[in-house]
Amino acid sequence: MKKSTIFFALMSILLIQSTLIFAQKGNATMPTPNVVVGTVVADNRPDLIVTSFTKGSTIVADQIENGVTYIAYTISYKAVVKNQGKTATNKPCELGDPRESVEGCAVIPILQAGQSVTVEGTLKGKASGHVINLYLMADLPNCSYEDNPDPSYGEINEANEQNNKSTSITVNLH
């Protein structure tokens, strides 16, 4: 059964019950029922976003592993992370590229509502071609401690968990 049909049926039952109650009490007119369709809840959680992501120096080296040639890279970066939410983050968290093929995480300190911080870090990985695309995610769970979790870092319960990704940058590994 569709939700709209169920909603209509429930509202009809409520209206009939209200009519019967008022009719039993001898009321000639029935008041308009107060119906709340939805509620607006203020979201007082932090909300981390990456407002800028810029590449610094790039170090590359051709390497051979198991007969396969690839380019090993180390790229420094700067990123600005902002808490655009209404409350402070409750603990530090991490910033990094979420793909398993890219290593390197930086710590985002506790941020007050509206506060920004510049974070510097490095990303390391292996590429089969000369062009790669990188991006960062704020509040990246299990970034640098997959095998040994540190309880002082962790996921922040945010107002919007879908806006943590930076813009992508293209890096030429020549």
- DSSP lists the bridge partners of residue 71 as 62, 127
Q: What is the per-residue pLDDT for 39?
A: 52
Q: Show me where the domains of the chain are located.
A: 1-39, 48-172
Q: What is the per-residue pLDDT for 100?
A: 83
Q: What is the per-residue pLDDT for 151?
A: 53
CA distance 80 to 166: 10
- DSSP lists the bridge partners of residue 173 as none
Q: What is the per-residue pLDDT for 43?
A: 85
171 in Cβ contact with 74 (< 8 Å): no
Q: Which residues lie closer than 8 Å to 78 by C-beta, 6 or more apart?
A: 52, 53, 54, 56, 118, 119, 120
The sign one gets for the Cα dihedral 93, 165, 141, 70 is negative
Q: What is the DSSP letter of 172?
A: E
CA distance 136 to 77: 10
Task: Enter the pTM of the model.
Answer: 0.71
pLDDT, averaged per 10 consecutive residues of the chain (174 residues), comes to 50 46 46 45 86 95 92 96 96 88 91 97 93 93 57 76 93 90
Give me the CATH code for the 48-172 domain, please.
2.60.40
